[in-house]
Structure 1
Amino acid sequence: MRTDTDLAVARRIRVGVAAYSERIRAERAGFLTLTQTAVLGQLYRHGALTPGEIADRLRAKPQTLTRVFATLQERGLITRTPDPDDRRQALVTITDQGRGMLHVEMRPRDRFAAALITQELTAAERDLLAIAADLLERLATAGAPPVRAEP
């Protein structure tokens, strides 16, 4: 049963995560756009997906991502292959080069976040934050549709 306390906690988490995300998002290498980073992140976390599945996960229209897919493919960061279950569809997969570029793009964010954590939190708070990270990851995947494994 949902209580007022649950709603208040949910609101605080939403606001805190959004503010933290905005702050962290500003720390980047700049080799990829935010949308390119988001697409590669989806492929890194979930394996091969159709363009429609990626668009759904990013709450975008597939047409909006057409140029992003083309640019990522031209740069060798993704590949597109026919879907064996539906030849009319393509499956998009991150390449090793794409994984490397995503790592380079995310490294400044990780370093910035680690510095903040070290500077601002006590050891006990860092331990608690590690637990909270596990819980947020669990919540992020709760109720998610099944995804294809990477070939």
Structure 2
Amino acid sequence: MSEMSEGDLAAVSQLRSSVMRLARRLRHQHVEQSLSPTEMGVLGTLARCGSATPGELARREHVQPPSMTRIIAMLEEKGLVRREPHPEDRRQVVVSMTEQAQAILDESRRRRNAWLAELASGLSEEEWATVRAAAPALYKLAHL
């Protein structure tokens, strides 16, 4: 994209503000109150990407490796992840989710989807069509 017009800059500002507010409201819909947003994020990454080393998780979650080590220890203590020897490098471990963690994520997603669907029911058909059409581009932005 080249230089943005004033209208584009205003749209970017409105998008940023809207996405941040919606994300904040969505975070309050989680099921397991004892898990921090960071812990939920790690579980979500494991669900999306599969098992990973602590270093890989730290990179994906944009935290320092020592912080990720602490997060993994807390999740392991809660029975939500397990550490197993790395299949090729015995100096490392691989972290994977437990069935309990998957159940928490599934229920959290179900609850958040229901909340968002209820919220979306307040939109007009035209507004909903616009949101539905924008969903793939928003997904791409979130994963760049």
TM-score by length of 1: 0.78
Residues 31 and 105, structure 1, Cα contact 8 Å, conserved in 2 = no
Q: With CA pairs under 8 Å and 6+ residues apart, which has the higher RCO, 1 or 2?
A: 1
Larger Rg: 1 or 2?
2
The aligned counterpart of 1:149 is none
The match for 1:133 is 135
Aligned equivalent of 1:4: 4
**Residues 8-87 of structure 1 aligned to structure 2 (within 5 Å):** 8-29=10-31, 30-87=33-90
Structure 2: stretches of 5+ with no match in the other structure: none
Q: Which residue identity lines up with residue 142 of structure 2 in the other structure?
A: A
Q: Deviations over 1:30-67 (max 9, x none)?
A: 14222211110111111122212222222211222333
In structure 2, the CA distance between the partners of 1:53 and 1:9, relative to structure 1 (3 Å rule), is farther
How far residue 116 of structure 1 moved from its aligned partner, in angstroms, is 0.9
TM-score, with structure 2 as normaliser: 0.81
Distance in 2 between the 1:15 and 1:39 partners?
25
Whether the 8 Å CA contact 2:29–2:108 is kept in 1: the answer is no
Deviations 1:106-130 (A, max 9, x none): 43322221111112x1122222212
State percent identity of aligned pairs.
37
Mapped contact 1:24–1:109 kept (Cα < 8 A):
yes
Assess if the C-alpha contact under 8 Å between 1:32 and 1:105 holds in 2. no
Cα root mean square deviation, aligned:
2.1
